[in-house]
């Protein structure tokens, strides 16, 4: 798991390119906010959080399976990730931030058009 990156993942870079192309500027991984969100639009009080479907257990996604080996390790690990995501999301909302979760499967080529629409709607352009 040491090779799994937390920052600058392919889906995150894809979202950053889309948003930058739309003319928005943002801060990355702001440590002062709960969960160090991926993209922070301070002036708009908006956050875009890019999540991996496996690591954050995207409901209904084919990539959100639990491995067949070492299930006693993986189940609590993945449930903990989901629980932590919920806690961070709640804390951000209490602080007055609006949060958009973008899943890795939404960043695939076939889904980019829909993702761009979602981001435009969320950021208000």
Instruction: Report d(CA 20, CA 15) in Å as an integer.
Output: 8
Q: Where exactly are the structural domains of the chain?
A: 10-123
pTM (two decimals): 0.91
pLDDT at res. 3? 53
What is the spatial distance between Cα 11 and Cα 94, in angstroms, rounded to a whole number? 27
Q: SS3 of 36, please?
A: coil
pLDDT, tens digit, for every residue of 49-103? 999 999 999 999 999 999 999 999 999 999 999 999 999 999 999 999 999 999 9
pLDDT digits over 4-47, tens only?
Answer: 666 779 999 999 999 999 999 999 999 999 999 999 999 999 99
The CATH number of domain 10-123, selected from 3.40.960.10, 3.30.2350.10, 3.40.50.1580, 3.40.50.300:
3.40.960.10
Q: Check residue 5 and report its DSSP letter.
A: -
- Packing angle between helix 112-123 and helix 10-21, nearest 10 degrees? 60
């Amino acid at each position: 798991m040491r090779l799994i990156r937390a920052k600058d993942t392919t889906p995150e870079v894809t979202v950053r390119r889309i948003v930058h192309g739309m003319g928005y500027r943002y801060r990355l991984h702001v440590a002062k906010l709960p969960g160090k969100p991926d993209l922070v639009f301070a002036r708009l009080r908006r956050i875009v959080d890019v999540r991996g479907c496996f690591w954050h257990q995207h409901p209904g996604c084919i990539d959100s399976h639990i491995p067949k080996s070492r299930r006693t390790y993986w189940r609590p690990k993945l449930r903990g990730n989901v629980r932590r995501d919920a806690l961070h999301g709640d804390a951000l909302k209490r602080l007055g931030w609006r949060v958009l979760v973008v899943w890795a499967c939404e960043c695939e080529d076939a889904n980019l058009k829909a993702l761009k629409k979602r981001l435009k709607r969320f950021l208000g352009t």
